[in-house]
Structure 1
Amino acid sequence: MTKDFKLLRGQDALTTYTFNTNTAQHKFCSKCGVQSFYHPRSNPDSVAVMPHCIDSPQPISVTVQNFDGNNWESSMEIETNFLS
């Protein structure tokens, strides 16, 4: 949840990109272009943090999951049903 996320430093180096609906907020480093985290359109009250941007402790493993971005709404329904 957004209320549980606290960016400790680097806010001044971030830039925000939004797509056509301006709902998702993608945060990028304005110096190197790496996406650090974002607030997804499917759940704008949450924060998705990219594992390579976590200082400590580093994730031990990352699970890669295929996702159909062209049909993201139905893919999210499948994902939500899978997680519940």
Structure 2
Amino acid sequence: MRSTGIVRKLDELGRITLPIELRRNLDVAERDPLEIFTDEDTIILKKYNPADIFTGEMDNLIEYKGKKVSKNSIIELSKLAGSSIEE
């Protein structure tokens, strides 16, 4: 992990502002979703990229009932169910 040398204080609502240079370098736009991770005493922010709920694959995604599923997973699941899907 690299230090940016940037220090920010939380406001009264617990918010921080990410500097514009950091947002530009990481391609984070206004209203982009960020995932929050913790590792002991460390907080990690990561730009959220939806992925297949089964494999983590990020290509050819289809949304079903609020979840992302790849076409490959759908094909594999149809085989498990005894059906076949033609591509």
Return the TM-score normalized by structure 2. 0.26
Return the TM-score normalized by structure 1. 0.27
